[in-house]
Amino acid sequence: MSDNPNPAATGEAGGLASVNQVVELADQLSACADEIHDRVMREIRAYQGGPVPEAKQNDARALLDDELVLRQRANGLYADAATYIVRSLGKSQQHVIALTMDAGQKIKHINDIGNAISLVARLLGIAAAAATGQAAPIMLSLEALKHQLDWMAATSAPPKPAEPAEPA
């Protein structure tokens, strides 16, 4: 017999299969919104009170707008968690949270603003999909985020050292 009679509590069952799991996703989306805000403020402070180039201002505004939308969607998940339970998701809660945590960390540390904006768009997609309560849009959104994270990991990996040439 299992030590844990409730596998959904540990994320072993399908993700988003309980109110607590939907709330956990909302918590993680809120944490990602915090990372977005911190990143924008860090970028602004980097100019030490001097003028911020217009392109950087536009990027900052866009990210702050996305932060607001992400917070609103997370708040909606909190408010309606009981109606967004998805029993047939097919992904563990740990998988769902691990992906969103990874995205939050990447937003915090990534140098390329374009990749940060893309990650934020993927998180917004997950939040919107979760609000449907349907497995298919959620799965598509999770896969899109995973592919984005995998692509970022592959393109930011240091190049492999060259093989030594064999003597002729």
95-149, pLDDT tens digit by residue?
Answer: 888 999 999 999 888 888 888 899 999 999 999 988 888 889 999 999 999 999 9
| Whole-angstrom distance, CA of residue 57 vs CA of residue 43 | 10
From the number of C-beta atoms within 10 Å of its C-beta (0-12, 13-18, 19+), residue 62 rates as: middle
Residue 2 has pLDDT above 90, yes or no: no
- Predicted pLDDT at 161: 61
* Residues above pLDDT 70, as percent of the chain: 85
CB 85 within 8 A of CB 19: yes
- Predicted pLDDT at 43: 92
The residues near 84 (Cβ < 8 Å, ≥ 6 apart) are 16, 22, 77, 130, 131, 132, 133
pTM: 0.71
Range of weakest confidence among 43-52, 125-134, 155-164: 155-164
- Predicted pLDDT at 122: 93
Count of C-beta atoms within a 10 Å radius of residue 127: 24
| Whole-angstrom distance, CA of residue 38 vs CA of residue 36 | 6
| Whole-angstrom distance, CA of residue 154 vs CA of residue 158 | 9
| Whole-angstrom distance, CA of residue 126 vs CA of residue 73 | 10
- Predicted pLDDT at 1: 35
68-86, pLDDT tens digit by residue?
Answer: 999 999 999 988 887 777 8
More confident residue, 168 or 1: 168
The mean per-residue pLDDT over the stretch 20-36 comes to: 94
Domain ranges for the chain, please list them. Answer: 17-150
- Predicted pLDDT at 168: 54
Cα separation values, 75 from 1, 3, 29, Å? 38, 34, 9
Bridge partner residues of 92 (DSSP): 14
CB 141 within 8 A of CB 163: no
HSE toward the beta carbon, residue 60, CA cutoff 13 A: 15
Range of weakest confidence among 60-64, 149-153, 158-162: 158-162
The mean per-residue pLDDT over the stretch 16-43 comes to: 93
